Amino acid sequence: MRGILRLAGLWAALALAPALGADFSGVVTRVTDGDTLWVRPAAGGRPREVRLQGLDAPEICQAHGPRARAALAARLQGRRVQVRIRARDDYGRWLSRVATPDDPDVGAWMVVQGHAWSYRFRDSRGPYAALEDRARQARRGLWAQAAPLEPREFRRRHGSCGGAGQPGTRPNR
């Protein structure tokens, strides 16, 4: 029995391994919020859910959430993008860097425009900390608010947004 389980684990690892290293290009078919989008691969198949790596945008039911989604949609909806896959998150989304022919890092653009925070982890301020500082100093986007609440803190206090856009309900994923 242990041999079968070990073989099943190996099979699952082999099946996932090429996908993690397999960058792809495709067209953005939908933008869920300020850091999540769906990309239909140019090679065909169903759209894949992609989360921009290195940033955290406001929840859709949070202040500035709809504006962050609108900014990302205006930038990418219907456009061809290059997706550089880095990992999978807890929701099964591909954590990725996304680029367009005229923008090598869409995540950096979201942060410097004030639509997202640089993703903090432990003692690190994240990969876009300097860009966040620029947006904050310029009072761009969400930084025009008196005291914007980080999405992580918003979720801790209110839960994730649900399908109805209300705090405290499960995410519609």
Active site residue 48: no
- Catalytic hit among 48, 69, 75, 93: 93
pLDDT > 90? residue 101: yes
- Catalytic hit among 48, 59, 75, 132: 59
pLDDT of amino acid 23: 95
Average pLDDT value over all residues in the chain: 86
- Catalytic hit among 48, 51, 69, 75: 51
Active site residue 93: yes
Q: pLDDT category, 7, cuts 50, 70, 90? A: very low
Active site residue 59: yes
**Domains of the chain and any CATH numbers:** 21-158 (2.40.50.90)
Q: For residue range 32-72, what is the model confidence (pLDDT) as tens digits?
A: 999 999 999 999 999 999 999 999 999 999 999 999 999 99
Three-class secondary structure assignment of the chain: CHHHHHHHHHHHHHHHHHHHHCCEEEEEEEEEECCEEEEEECCCCCCEEEEECCEECCCCCCCCHHHHHHHHHHHHCCCEEEEEEEEECCCCCEEEEEEECCECCHHHHHHHCCCCEECCECCECCCCHHHHHHHHHHCCHHHHCCCCCCHHHHHHHHCCCCCCCCCCCCCCC
pLDDT of amino acid 9: 45
Q: pLDDT category, 21, cuts 50, 70, 90? A: low
pLDDT > 80? residue 8: no
pTM: 0.81
The rounded percent of the chain whose pLDDT value lies above 70 is 81
